[in-house]
Amino acid sequence: MNIEKTVIDNFCNLIKFDTTSDPYSSTYPSTNSQNEFAKILAKKCEDIGLEDVVIDENGYVLATLKATSNNTNLPKIGFIAHMDTSPDYCGKNIKPNLIENYDGKDIILKNIVLSPTEFPSLNNYIGKKLITTDGTTLLGGDDKAGIAEILTAFEYLKNNPQIEHGEIKLAFTPDEEVGQGVEYFNVKNFGCDFAYTIDGGGAGEINYENFNAADAIINIMGKNVHPGQATNIMINSAMIANELLSMLPDETPTNTKDYEGFYHLTDIKGNVEKTMLHFIIRAFDKKEFENKKQTIANIVDTLNKKYNNLLKLDLKDSYFNMYDILKDNMEIVEKAKRAITKTGLTPYIKPIRGGTDGARLSFMNLPCPNLFTGGHNCHGPYEYICVDSMVKAVEVIINIATDI
């Protein structure tokens, strides 16, 4: 089996399917397209020859590759990726653009230019094979690259039963991009001692720190009357929203980096009568996280006193920093380091300025660091992935499974 060809074929086939999740849906999964995609993945698992293939009642795809080693003391290891793509950008009609030998120059796509000047990571891949978007959609590498890499690794091991390994399992989850990826995941039924999400960035990357995360939805009620008769009567909810924004610290994703947290306004809809603001709040440090949530609450309280309780805050935690769990399970990080080193790469640790399913799973008694896929610039038309990195990701999964 040619790993490179298989992983490219898997990836380019998987991204044909629109699996955009919907943060405002009341269903789970949030979009029916993910249910349909789950059926395709389950069929692929069966074709590979995996066992215990199932789509459970919540849309999770699960499958097992039985152990080939006689050592019954080996841990059961899981590999996890998510099926949905981000609602931040179009995920329909994706047309991958394969560049056989990247020359280091600007890549001209429809309406945009993917330039190494703006995206210096491209300079690492001169002479390498890249897959980009056509400039009109995201690519879907987050996280169909992870799915493709897991499927390719499992197929390789299935086709080579002489290679000794313990029992390994895969899980493909819905709705990770809207913070609900493992909302109904049954860790006990999954039956693994630990797992890895395959949902990271550049080759060699390991993540075991991530943001603490919360969502804040603020609804503001105004009072709309004819503007010619509005004196001392009209209350413009959109103007109150503007006042609220002016009261926030200047800590946005644009102005922060590394371990710095932020407030991110992801959506705002409104008029005179009613305005809704949706924020995500992020911080690595738990105390900073609590302070940021309190800042939002204090601003709302201040404006409620001024405007007679016209604002309503719905504040909800999404996930927490998995380091709080993984600091006591570093042997599984060391296993990943060995697996990466064996491919010829140098492993490096990078905090995630975001989150993965593994963050929540770690707090559900399934320690779960995150490993690279090879992708860059996800959630938009500048997304690309290096094929050589995808091959290395496959090899890392194989190496982890066979590190006995």
- Express each pLDDT in 349-401 by its tens digit: 999 998 889 999 999 999 999 999 999 999 999 999 999 999 999 999 999 99
| Known active-site residue 285 | no
| Known active-site residue 167 | no
Predicted structure pTM score = 0.89
Q: How far apart are CA 269 and CA 389, in angstroms?
A: 40
Task: Compute, in degrees rounded to 10, the torsion defined by CA atoms 355, 356, 358, 364.
Answer: 70
Instruction: Give me the catalytic one of 84, 209, 251, 383.
Output: 84
pLDDT tens string 241-279: 999 999 999 999 999 999 999 999 999 999 999 999 999
Phi and psi at residue 348, in whole multiples of 5°?
A: -140, 145
Instruction: Give me the catalytic one of 18, 142, 155, 176.
Output: 176
pLDDT at residue 179 tops 90: no
Residues 111-130: what's their mean pLDDT? 97
CA 300 vs. chain centroid, Å, equals 30
Q: List the one residue out of 347, 387, 319, 365 whose CA is nearest residue 148.
A: 387
Q: How far apart are CA 94 and CA 67, in angstroms?
A: 37
List domains and CATH numbers for the chain: 3-210+321-401 (3.40.630.10), 212-319 (3.30.70.360)
Which of 22-26, 79-83, 205-209 is the least confident region?
22-26
pLDDT at residue 197 tops 90: yes
* Torsion 80-82-88-93 (CA) sign: positive
Share of residues in the chain with pLDDT > 70 (%): 100
